[in-house]
A and B are shown apart, each in its own frame.
Chain A
Amino acid sequence: MQRRDFLQAFGSATALAPLVVAGLLSPTRALAVSFNRAAFEARTAADALRLIGAAGAETSRDIQLKAPEVAENGAAVPIEVASSIPGTTRLSILIEKNPLPLALQFNFAAEATARFQAKLRMAESSRLRVVATAGGKHYTVFREVKVTVGGCGD
C-alpha cells in the first residue's frame, strides 16, 4: 500500500467533512486508523505487541533507533527513531520492562517523515523496541538500554 492510500482508504477529508461537522467523527480520526487504547494498559511487552497487532513483526534493518547505551537518568531517556521502510504510516515504541510497556505511537500522513525524537521514562534497564507499520505489515528492531537510576517510581 502506498503512503497516500491510507487516507483514500478511509475516504477523503472532503467526504468526511459533513460527519465532522455533525460531530460523528473527531477531525483527527481522518488521519489514519485509530489507536487501540487497551494496548497502553498491557502489563507485558508480549500482550502490548499482540494488542497493537504486531506479535509477528519481522526484524528490519531499515528502522533506526538511536538511544544511549547507558542512561544515567531513567526519567528522561532521549531517543530518535526513523523508518526508511517505504509507506511507513505508524511507529510504536515499547519499553519491555516498564510496568506498562507501550510508551507511545505516532501515525504519519504523507506530509510527515516517519521520524521523531522524544524523551521517555525507563523504570530499569530494558530492551527498547520500535515497531514500524507499513502497508499493514509490522517490522521491528530493538536495542538494550542500561539505566543507572530508574525513572518510574519515587
Chain B
Amino acid sequence: MSEPIKIRATVKGTEGEVRVLMPHPMESGQRRDPAGQALPAHFITSITLSLNGRPVIEGALGTAVSANPLFAFQLQGVKAGDKVSIAWLDNKGQKGNAEGAFAAG
C-alpha cells in the first residue's frame, strides 16, 4: 500500500490509548464494477498490535470492516516512550506494518 499507516499512541497515567488507521481498499467481494463484473474480495484478514515487541491484541477481520480500517484500543501498564506497533496481512498475502511510541497525552 502506498499510503502510510497512521498510528497515534497517548498515555494518561498508566493507561494507553492507541488509534490506528490502515489505508486499504477492504474490497468486500460484494460489489460490481461499472461493466457488471464482480470485484474480487481484497481485505485485511489479520492484524497484530504489539507493545514493546510483544503481541497484546490480535484481530481476525472479515469483509464487513470499512475501507481504510480505523481502530482504537486501550492498553494498561504503559509509560511514555513505550513502543507500539501494528502489522496487517491481507487475503492476497500483502503485508503492512508501522511503529510508534506512546506520548504523554
Are A and B interaction partners?
A: yes
8 Å CB interface, A1-56 against B: 13, 27-28, 30-32, 35, 37, 40
A135 within 8 A of B: no
B: contact size bracket: 20 to 34
Query: Is A119 a contact of B75 with CB atoms below 8 Å?
Result: no
Interface string of B41-70 (1 = CB under 8 A from A): 000011011010011111111111111011
Shortest beta-carbon distance from B49 to chain A in Å: 8
Shortest beta-carbon distance from B9 to chain A in Å: 13
Query: Is A113 a contact of B62 with CB atoms below 8 Å?
Result: no
Query: Is A121 a contact of B64 with CB atoms below 8 Å?
Result: yes
Query: Is B30 a contact of A99 with CB atoms below 8 Å?
Result: yes
Query: Is A40 a contact of B60 with CB atoms below 8 Å?
Result: yes
Which residues of chain A have a CB within 8 Å of any CB of chain B?
Answer: 13, 27-28, 30-32, 35, 37, 40, 75-77, 95, 98-100, 102-109, 111-113, 115-123, 151-154
Which residues of chain B have a CB within 8 Å of any CB of chain A?
Answer: 15, 28, 30-32, 45-46, 48-49, 51, 54-67, 69-78
